[in-house]
Structure 1
Amino acid sequence: MVSLVVQRPCLVVPKRRGQEARILLSELNLLDNRMRVLTDSEKIFWPLVREISDDERLMLQDRLGDFELVYAKIESRNKRPKSILEELEEKLTPSQLAAIPHSFDIVGDIAVLEIPDELFDQRFLVGEAVLRVHKNIKVVLAKAGKIDGVARIRRFTHLAGENRTTTLHRENNCVFRVDLASAYFSPRLVTEHARVAHQVAPREVVVDLFAGVGPFSIQIAKKVDALVYAIDINKTAVDLLKLNIHLNKVDGRVIPILGDARKIVEERLFSKADRVIMNLPGSAESFIDVACRAIKAGGGIIHYYQFSSSPEAMDEAVNTLEKGVEANSRKVNKILECKKVRPSAPHEWQIVVDAKIR
């Protein structure tokens, strides 16, 4: 928003009477708070919303004594707008304003937007508006595709601010170095990360099959005296995971492992886990056998995640897990919890099933 310089009526008083004049002008609804105040070595110029009436002039003279009324060039305050809509209301059409996203993800000091087709040509304008409204945001990105591949990478378009995808994100008393363009991370799972961490008991062994930069693993290790094996196939994610382990002072309690979870469990973690986390909702079903092999012979707990657009989404997720477990000569002893974690797309949910396996 550009500051404007306009001719405005002003009340001029000696500086020693400045505060008294401000209070009186506010009481009379004459002070124009949208404009900056001018001063010189001896006087203060209070901008007025309009010229004063004769009755107001008499009241001011009675309370302030001598003063001047002049016209002066005054600059607008250039206040930060309260919303993106307010910032863009004079720059976009009504239909475009209606398409502005009501919410967006914030990771550290990066805002991540989904730009609808109606706003594609105005996407950079929207990005600048986000910076203008939210002083804590330094980078604005737009999603430019779906999360793709085994490394779980999403493409982004830079809209405004500093041109980077790395940031430092704080969550549940932990801090994470994140690179949105190179390793998966979702701030929408903040509650889920904490929920799982609170379930882990002291001295448990946890296997996080798809750990990413470590939001489940590190929060568990910071919350309780447990040992967590954190696996990911994405080298950048594991490099960031190692850094985050050190940043959160959980060295030795979170063991970072680069590689395919299937091979890692078979070679190093067979029958080691009291608990397995399977946060790969797009294809976790194909790793149910891996989770079953990681769980100790005496049993343990699986946190299974799945996307579903079915009206019976939770029942569908439970059935998928139960069938997969039984196909691997084990059994779901009890469903501890099943719920919707978050919407993942229109008419689609991410579901979690907590199950006790024997």
Structure 2
Amino acid sequence: MEVLGPADASRIWKRVEIIGDIAIIRRPFNYPIEKLKVLAENLIKYLPYVKSIWLATSEVKGEYRLRDFIHLAGEPRSTTMYKEHGCAFKVDIKSVYVSPRLGYEHIRIAKQVKSGEIVINMFAGAGLFSILIAKYSKPKKVISIDINPKAVELMRENAKINNVEDVVEIIQGDAGKVIENYYCLANRVLMPLPELCYKYLPKAIKALKPHRGYIHVYDFISNVNKRLKAIQKAKDKYEKRLSSIDGVKDFSIVFARVVRSAGPKKYQVALDIEIGKDRC
């Protein structure tokens, strides 16, 4: 980091994510790419476990939730093996979104799942939530959906790598349509896609078995400058939404936390919601 001043070095280091042996730098504002290339070459020398460094030049975007990248240093490959909580995952940073900042959530949810549950993951990506649940929680089935064909391909590989292909049922398609085939089946539905969790909430609830079940949503909350305000705003948003959904007898937001900062005055908030249904 001596190639930069202390202030710049600190600012850039906070924007580095390590996924397997790949480092991703989230570009700090309009910092010159040539300077970042010099930094990347030095990082390769000082961090022997990093073999490839990429610059993320865009936010997550599009139907498949991908970022644009520029290769900065090291091996010009975007695939790696990423390990989390004792499981190994093959990922391609250019083909599927993966963030180590969700690592705590992956295991937190897995610990909540009870033996014999049927779980639906509506936005499964490379399968990290689904596979950790299958590996550690003894569910009956994890129905894992994603619209991105490359993500589905990686998820199938990851299910085999972790020996859970008999538990994880993998489906490619629009979760809003696929889930219609699984109404009244699940004990728990995961919605780890901020752009669609609010829109698809009624369908997720229809997928729950009668009586009681759980929904886990991950939404972006904007225009707040404190974490506690973000949590309260998320609760208010979903309490209002749940009050208007047909078939919901009662509900309770049993847990809420800020997962991460997602930009100025913007946070990703996780909500665990217990749902009571009076019918299917």
Query: Fold conserved (TM > 0.5)?
Result: yes
**Pair 251,122 (structure 1): closer, same or farther in 2 beyond 3 Å:** same
Q: Are the counterparts in 1 of residues 261 and 268 from structure 2 also a CA contact under 8 Å?
A: yes
Distance in 2 (alpha carbons) for counterparts of 1:94 and 1:343? 23
Per the TM alignment, residue 95 of structure 1 is displaced from its structure 2 partner at its CA by 6.7
Equivalence map 1:244-283=2 (5 Å): 244-266=158-180, 268-283=181-196
Q: Which has the higher contact order (CA 8 A, sep 6+)?
A: 2
Q: Are the counterparts in 2 of residues 275 and 300 from structure 1 also a CA contact under 8 Å?
A: yes
Distance in 2 (alpha carbons) for counterparts of 1:327 and 1:109? 47
Structure 2 partner of 1:128? 41
Structure 2 partner of 1:197? 110
Residue type matched to 2:102 in 1? L
Which has the larger displacement, 208-217 or 108-117? 108-117
Structure 2 partner of 1:105? 17
Distance in 1 (alpha carbons) for counterparts of 2:218 and 2:11? 31
The number of aligned residues is 269
Q: Are the counterparts in 2 of residues 292 and 325 from structure 1 also a CA contact under 8 Å?
A: no
Q: Are the counterparts in 2 of residues 231 and 259 from structure 1 also a CA contact under 8 Å?
A: yes
Structure 1 gap segments, 5+ residues each: 1-83
Equivalence map 1:1-358=2 (5 Å): 84-85=1-2, 88=3, 92=4, 97=9, 99-116=11-28, 117-226=30-139, 227-266=141-180, 268-309=181-222, 310=224, 311=226, 312-329=229-246, 330-358=248-276
Distance in 2 (alpha carbons) for counterparts of 1:333 and 1:182? 37
Distance in 2 (alpha carbons) for counterparts of 1:300 and 1:281? 21
Per the TM alignment, residue 168 of structure 1 is displaced from its structure 2 partner at its CA by 0.5
Distance in 2 (alpha carbons) for counterparts of 1:279 and 1:224? 19
Per the TM alignment, residue 333 of structure 1 is displaced from its structure 2 partner at its CA by 2.4
SS at match of 1:225: coil
Distance in 1 (alpha carbons) for counterparts of 2:164 and 2:39? 40
SS at match of 2:138: coil
Give the alignment's TM-score, normalised by structure 2: 0.91
SS at match of 1:299: strand
Distance in 2 (alpha carbons) for counterparts of 1:185 and 1:222? 19
Which has the larger displacement, 329-338 or 192-201? 329-338
Per the TM alignment, residue 194 of structure 1 is displaced from its structure 2 partner at its CA by 0.4
Distance in 2 (alpha carbons) for counterparts of 1:254 and 1:231? 10
**Pair 162,328 (structure 1): closer, same or farther in 2 beyond 3 Å:** same
Structure 2 partner of 1:51? none
Give the alignment's TM-score, normalised by structure 1: 0.72
Which has the larger displacement, 170-179 or 290-299? 290-299
Structure 2 gap segments, 5+ residues each: none
Of all paired residues, the percent bearing the same amino acid is 36
Per the TM alignment, residue 103 of structure 1 is displaced from its structure 2 partner at its CA by 4.9
Q: Are the counterparts in 2 of residues 332 and 355 from structure 1 also a CA contact under 8 Å?
A: no
Per the TM alignment, residue 322 of structure 1 is displaced from its structure 2 partner at its CA by 2.2
Per the TM alignment, residue 108 of structure 1 is displaced from its structure 2 partner at its CA by 0.5
Distance in 2 (alpha carbons) for counterparts of 1:94 and 1:302? 44
Structure 2 partner of 1:76? none
Q: Provide the aligned C-alpha RMSD in A.
A: 1.6
**Pair 332,319 (structure 1): closer, same or farther in 2 beyond 3 Å:** farther
Distance in 2 (alpha carbons) for counterparts of 1:98 and 1:263? 45
Which has the larger displacement, 241-250 or 95-104? 95-104
Q: Are the counterparts in 2 of residues 100 and 119 from structure 1 also a CA contact under 8 Å?
A: no
Q: Which has the larger radius of gyration?
A: 1
